Structure 1
């Protein structure tokens, strides 16, 4: 079987890429990412899991907004060094798919609420334009564009971003589904992800290859039948995802390993080390996890949680700060915000009285245990929260291959 060549933009640590690689049907020609630590995690994954001996060459640490340099190469940049660029890596190969999604913070509803100007001035609103520039240059058979649900309502300059994206793809010769909200807004828990996570997954068909076929009908069939056939029989739970990991109990006293301070036991499993919690927070975690475990349910309302916060800290808050994962339900969404605190992702076991670890966040995002997170704890939480769950990405990759085979564009 001849593999399909992929170029990935905004690759992060490679959640989407990992799913495509799992199928054995795709060849990662090149990937682009501006965060250095995310690139390092991805390079390690490509080398150790997928045997790309030249992984450092295939992962470009660069700013996609500088598209001409990204394609043709750059020299002696203080942040990005020197590189021969995509042209020097791709070397005339046909790119079958371009995959990726710009950073979601500018489109997220939460980001707009928290920003004083509703993210209207955020440059990330328009990173899709850089994506389109690369699409125009390499003209693949098909594109995959992923982003948050908030993209559907974002309008930083008064025009909906989603309408700009539709126009852009159309001008570049690609058809995407007309009714994006009705068909391309997917609940990833339906595909075996143990987490409430909705994402817009746009698949674009290049009219140069698909011609004047009924592309809307092809896309409708893709979403309603081809991709839908990969849905799971049940939604996995938090217990399914993390229930077998070793317990990490609070230590009797805080202790140090080198300069790092610990409040809990730690394990030798990659990423399965709790962040530090002070004794007050450990007690709060015990109270609210016991409340659920015993069925007393005294702290199930936002008002009760706000009162507890005030009683324990002496401070007030307009929003409740705590959320405990439920063993027999899917997790709430795993966000990049986990890098700042884990108060909305508290482990359900009262004995452990802590927030979730990097490895637990990774499990809830369906990263395999052999996926190594080699950055700092803060960096690891961020790249995991920003990623597409690999097990969903695998199903998407299989469905896309089915689509291409059905239309004579893959074997």
Structure 2
């Protein structure tokens, strides 16, 4: 029987990263930290119903990681309720082996820096990794997995590259990360079976004292263990969502007033329901999808799409607002902004005239259909877009378990 490793999940979100680690059957959940309530509720529900963790309400710490002293020793207040704190769970488990997680990525993303007039220099999220580092320093796991966006490679919030701050920070507490972050840590989820082109950094850190040559072990993880879990054939959008019941527009002006704009599919699968779209948008979506389906491809150029937006909506946009997902390719990157705008995630079927449902987005992120999202539709889209694809997490966790089996 394979050994199981004990883990803590920081910045857990709804639990995509954690779910993948648990799917590998090589890890035990000790505790998780998350401060947004819908995400906390969703993670608790998943741990209870899928993984039979009876005390999930206690193990999932609903708290602000910036309040470190209370995070460790426990708290009791109006906003976050009460909990015994991380120290209690780590001591109860007799230490931990792995810390996983990644601080919110908006402040590291190139798009985030473009949108912020000060280039995100004052954004507190730039420095949340310091709290991750402090948790690692306190509990001294054998390894950690730090996940983030590729924009981190170019982020310089205070004049020093964030990658140097991270390397120096972990080096100072006895951990090494791979010598060339840019070369080794960038993974495309579609290479690992996720039906989506999604580039992410997976930064593995190893405690120096558990291995003679940390760099050799790190190179082995990236060069030997991880590549074994790549797929030969990438999954497409249609592979992922093609079997879900179709949802058609009614084009009924009376029903539009009631926002009953689409048919309700006959399925027990949760969150497979379309958001509201105006008749104008329905027609645009159908036209754009049909253009691709027919092979005419008259509307695929960004300038043409911007012109359509300007003509139909009556306002200019610096970027084109429409994108139809290609049926026979992996999806473009599912993003949290999907909860505000679905125009860049239009279903490939011209008859459906809509953006993708939360369940379709979840499938493109490799969430199982029995993974339910608690909260409203906006919460669901946001959780899904911010998550680490569970299938990618599973592959990373299996490669990591192989490395740990060799090291320990």
TM-score higher than 0.5: yes
Displacement of 1:243: 0.6
Can you list the C-alpha shifts for 1:367-395, whole angstroms capped at 9, x where unaligned?
01110112110001111111110011111
2:261 to 260, 263, 283: 263
Mapping 1:244-393, distance limit 5 Å: 244-253=243-252, 261-267=259-265, 268=267, 269-393=269-393
2:29 is matched with 28
1:218 is matched with 217
Can you list the C-alpha shifts for 1:122-155, whole angstroms capped at 9, x where unaligned?
0000000000110111000110000000000000
RMSD in angstroms over aligned alpha carbons?
Answer: 1.4
* CA distance in structure 2 between the aligned counterparts of 1:266 and 1:103, rounded to whole angstroms: 34
Q: TM-score normalized by structure 1?
A: 0.96
* CA distance in structure 2 between the aligned counterparts of 1:351 and 1:14, rounded to whole angstroms: 34
> What secondary structure sits across from 2:235 in the alignment?
coil
* CA distance in structure 1 between the aligned counterparts of 2:393 and 2:308, rounded to whole angstroms: 40
The verdict on how the C-alpha distance between 1:360 and 1:133 changes in structure 2, with shifts beyond 3 A counting, is: same
Displacement of 1:261: 2.8
Mapping 1:90-239, distance limit 5 Å: 90-92=90-92, 93-210=94-211, 213-239=212-238
The verdict on how the C-alpha distance between 1:260 and 1:18 changes in structure 2, with shifts beyond 3 A counting, is: farther
Q: Is the 8 A contact 1:254 1:261 kept in 2?
A: no
Displacement of 1:260: 7.4
Does residue 242 of structure 2 align to residue 240 of structure 1? no
* CA distance in structure 2 between the aligned counterparts of 1:255 and 1:353, rounded to whole angstroms: 18
* CA distance in structure 1 between the aligned counterparts of 2:20 and 2:52, rounded to whole angstroms: 15
1:48 is matched with 49
* CA distance in structure 1 between the aligned counterparts of 2:253 and 2:197, rounded to whole angstroms: 34
Q: TM-score normalized by structure 2?
A: 0.97
Q: Is the 8 A contact 1:255 1:263 kept in 2?
A: no
Can you list the C-alpha shifts for 1:32-57, whole angstroms capped at 9, x where unaligned?
00101101000000010000011101
* CA distance in structure 2 between the aligned counterparts of 1:208 and 1:221, rounded to whole angstroms: 18
> What secondary structure sits across from 1:405 in the alignment?
helix
* CA distance in structure 2 between the aligned counterparts of 1:64 and 1:311, rounded to whole angstroms: 47
Displacement of 1:255: 7.1
**340-349 or 247-256: bigger deviation:** 247-256
Can you list the C-alpha shifts for 1:212-259, whole angstroms capped at 9, x where unaligned?
x121111111101111111111111001111110000002426779x9
Displacement of 1:59: 0.3
Q: Is the 8 A contact 1:254 1:262 kept in 2?
A: no
What runs of 5+ residues in structure 1 fail to find an aligned partner?
none
* CA distance in structure 1 between the aligned counterparts of 2:107 and 2:251, rounded to whole angstroms: 43
> What secondary structure sits across from 2:190 in the alignment?
helix
> What secondary structure sits across from 2:147 in the alignment?
strand
Q: Is the 8 A contact 1:366 1:390 kept in 2?
A: yes
> What secondary structure sits across from 2:41 in the alignment?
helix
The verdict on how the C-alpha distance between 1:136 and 1:245 changes in structure 2, with shifts beyond 3 A counting, is: same
* CA distance in structure 1 between the aligned counterparts of 2:88 and 2:216, rounded to whole angstroms: 38
Can you list the C-alpha shifts for 1:275-322, whole angstroms capped at 9, x where unaligned?
100111001101111111111111011111111112212222221100
* CA distance in structure 2 between the aligned counterparts of 1:39 and 1:208, rounded to whole angstroms: 35
* CA distance in structure 1 between the aligned counterparts of 2:15 and 2:42, rounded to whole angstroms: 8
* CA distance in structure 1 between the aligned counterparts of 2:207 and 2:103, rounded to whole angstroms: 20
> What secondary structure sits across from 2:82 in the alignment?
strand
* CA distance in structure 1 between the aligned counterparts of 2:297 and 2:135, rounded to whole angstroms: 53
What runs of 5+ residues in structure 2 fail to find an aligned partner?
none
